[in-house]
């Protein structure tokens, strides 16, 4: 029997990519899923794919950078399912450019989602995870270990997340809460179709060779295996 049966998993950035794939995979493993993202229509589509009756899924439009929205989403999740066992902090985007061509505000905009959005997700659900001795999963990147030219904003944010995970894993262990830091390589998602303003361009081609890409579905399967090992 799956150890996710009847668990409740809250996932940010669940409208596409790794977040959406994780929602499907955890649901297949028997979990109830709470989907959070800004794009309401995309969320509803994914929710209906997972469970057309809506009994095992809850879709909540939510912007992790907006004060109070994550707290409200967690309240809705508790109201429907009574608990939260798994939290996946997945919302994030990328910003490109050499340091001399960017400004501090560019870094600040990215960090609002990639770093402070993760922190806000944790603060909104930490008491729940302590009650259930649950699992905190933070989706980062291999770039939390290796920084490349023209990628300092994104890499900085992921280095910060790695430090956060290392501290949290020690702080939360006495409460029975596991912390899993996920660092994928190149995944076939929409992230490289976003410009520096966070606007999606459907006609942009992925600059990464297909030979170097792993699908979001394959990534989700590996993440679920990692989570199951706590």
Q: Which residues make Cβ contacts (< 8 Å) with residue 111, sequence separation at least 6?
A: 153, 156, 157, 160
Both tokens of 149, joined, read 């030219």
Residue 33 pairs in a beta bridge with: 9, 57
The whole-angstrom distance between residue 121's C-alpha and the CA centroid of its chain comes to: 10
146: three-class secondary structure by DSSP:
coil
CA distance 87 to 95: 25
Helix (H) or strand (E) holding 155: helix 152-172
Distance (Å, rounded) from C-alpha 77 to C-alpha 84? 7
Q: One of 107, 123, 154, 186 is an active-site residue; which one?
A: 154
How far apart are the C-alpha atoms of 54 and 57, rounded to whole Å?
5
Residue 75: count other Cβ atoms within 10 Å of its Cβ: 12
Quickly count: other Cβ atoms within 10 Å of residue 186's Cβ.
18
Q: Tell me how far apart the alpha carbons of residues 50 and 226 are, in angstroms, rounded to a whole number.
A: 22
Catalytic residue flag (residue 186): no
Secondary element (H or E) of residue 7: none
Q: Could you list the active site residues?
A: 154
């Amino acid at each position: 029997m799956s150890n996710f049966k009847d668990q409740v998993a809250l996932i940010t950035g669940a409208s596409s990519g790794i977040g959406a794939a994780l929602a499907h995979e955890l649901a297949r493993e028997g979990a109830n899923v709470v989907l959070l993202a800004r794009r309401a229509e995309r969320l509803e589509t994914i929710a209906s794919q997972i469970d057309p009756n809506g009994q095992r899924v809850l879709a909540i439009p939510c912007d992790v950078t907006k004060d109070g929205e994550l707290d409200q989403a967690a309240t809705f999740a508790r109201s429907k399912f009574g608990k939260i066992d798994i939290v996946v902090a997945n919302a994030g985007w990328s910003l490109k450019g050499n340091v001399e061509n960017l400004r501090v505000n560019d870094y600040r905009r990215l960090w609002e989602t990639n770093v402070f959005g993760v922190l806000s997700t944790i603060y909104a659900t930490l008491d729940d995870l302590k009650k259930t001795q649950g699992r905190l999963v933070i989706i980062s990147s291999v770039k939390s270990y290796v920084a490349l030219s023209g990628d300092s904003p994104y890499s900085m944010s992921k280095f910060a997340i790695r430090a956060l995970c290392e501290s949290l894993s020690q702080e939360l262990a006495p409460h029975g809460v596991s912390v899993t830091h996920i660092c994928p390589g190149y995944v076939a998602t929409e992230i490289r179709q976003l410009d520096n303003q966070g606007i999606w361009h459907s006609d942009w081609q992925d600059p990464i060779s297909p030979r170097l890409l792993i699908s979001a579905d394959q990534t989700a399967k590996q993440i679920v295996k990692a989570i199951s090992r706590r």
